[in-house]
């Protein structure tokens, strides 16, 4: 158990809909990272927040957005969903703003878009 | 998005055998990381490498940071059933850069 929690574990929705994925980092970790894992694209970094502020951006679509709240939990919002958005979405947390080797991954949310 | 090339894509071995896999990139990396992902779970960090030529062990696992800084290798000795899973390499182009680039994964299966 990494200490990172993600909810929900599974999500099934329809094209065009909007969903929110939630992540609670390990106790004391200030950084939260979001990743997308799909069969054809592998594991892709989406975005990082550190202590409430956006810190780094990766291959995140404009239809996707995220935020980190004062209690340090983070939410990833996916809108106008398409079939290709079906994937595993992982959250990772780290105590540091730039700790690539100290990222602890959550169990993921499996999103299925029908 | 960018990906690292990892090989082999899959391996079928018998318990007790040694395993080798590698990861190559067209770009130079300053940090190489190796992760293992079990079904239904997130990746777990196995080994982190910080210097070209560095050889680091973690139990039966040994990883090396290639001297060209464009590749890395992971070896698992005397494999056991719990080694089953998907192994990913990941690279970091800058020290402390958050933007990890992941490999395509090597799926390890142990044949009884």
pLDDT tens readout for residues B72-99: 999 999 999 999 999 999 988 765 555 7
All residues of chain B having their beta carbon less than 8 Å from the beta carbon of residue A58 are: 1, 99
The answer to whether B92 contacts A100, with C-beta atoms less than 8 Å apart, is yes
The answer to whether B98 contacts A101, with C-beta atoms less than 8 Å apart, is no
Query: CA B41 to CA A91: how far, in whole Å?
Result: 11
Give the 3-state secondary structure of chain A.
Answer: CCCCEEECCEEEECCCCCEEEEEECCCCCCEEEEEEEECCCEEEEEEEEECCEEEEECCCCCCEEEEECCCCCEEEEECCCCHHHCEEEEEEEECCCCCHHHCEECCCEEEEEC
pLDDT tens readout for residues B17-50: 999 999 999 888 888 999 999 988 899 999 999 9
pLDDT tens readout for residues A58-96: 889 999 999 999 999 999 999 999 999 999 999 999 987
Q: Give CB contacts under 8 A, 24+ apart, made by B53-62.
A: B61/B34
Contact at 8 Å (CB) between A3 and A104? yes
The answer to whether B101 contacts A45, with C-beta atoms less than 8 Å apart, is yes
The answer to whether A100 contacts B98, with C-beta atoms less than 8 Å apart, is yes
Least-confidence region, from A19-28, A97-106, B34-43, B44-53: A97-106
Indicate if the pLDDT at residue B1 is higher than 80: no
Residue B103, min C-alpha distance to chain A (Å): 8
């Amino acid at each position: 158990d990494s200490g990172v929690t993600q909810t929900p574990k599974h999500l099934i929705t329809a094209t065009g809909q909007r969903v929110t994925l939630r992540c609670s980092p390990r106790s004391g970790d200030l950084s939260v990272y979001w990743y997308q894992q799909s069969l054809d694209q592998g594991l892709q970094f989406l975005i990082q927040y550190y202590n409430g502020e956006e810190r780094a951006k990766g291959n995140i679509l404009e239809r996707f957005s995220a935020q980190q709240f004062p209690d340090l939990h983070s939410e990833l919002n996916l809108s106008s969903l398409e079939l290709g958005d079906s994937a595993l979405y992982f959250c990772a947390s780290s105590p540091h703003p730039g700790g690539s080797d100290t990222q602890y991954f959550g169990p993921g949310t499996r999103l299925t878009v029908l | 998005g960018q990906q690292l090339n990892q090989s082999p894509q899959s391996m079928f071995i018998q318990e007790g055998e040694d395993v080798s896999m590698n990861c190559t990139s067209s770009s130079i990396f300053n940090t190489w990381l190796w992760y293992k992902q079990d079904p239904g779970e997130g990746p777990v960090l196995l080994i982190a490498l910080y210097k070209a030529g560095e050889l680091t062990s973690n139990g039966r696992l040994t990883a090396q940071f290639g001297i060209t800084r464009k590749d890395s290798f992971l070896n698992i000795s005397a494999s056991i059933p719990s080694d089953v899973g998907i192994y990913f390499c990941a690279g970091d182009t800058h020290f402390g850069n958050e933007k990890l680039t992941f490999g395509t994964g090597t799926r390890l299966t142990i044949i009884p």
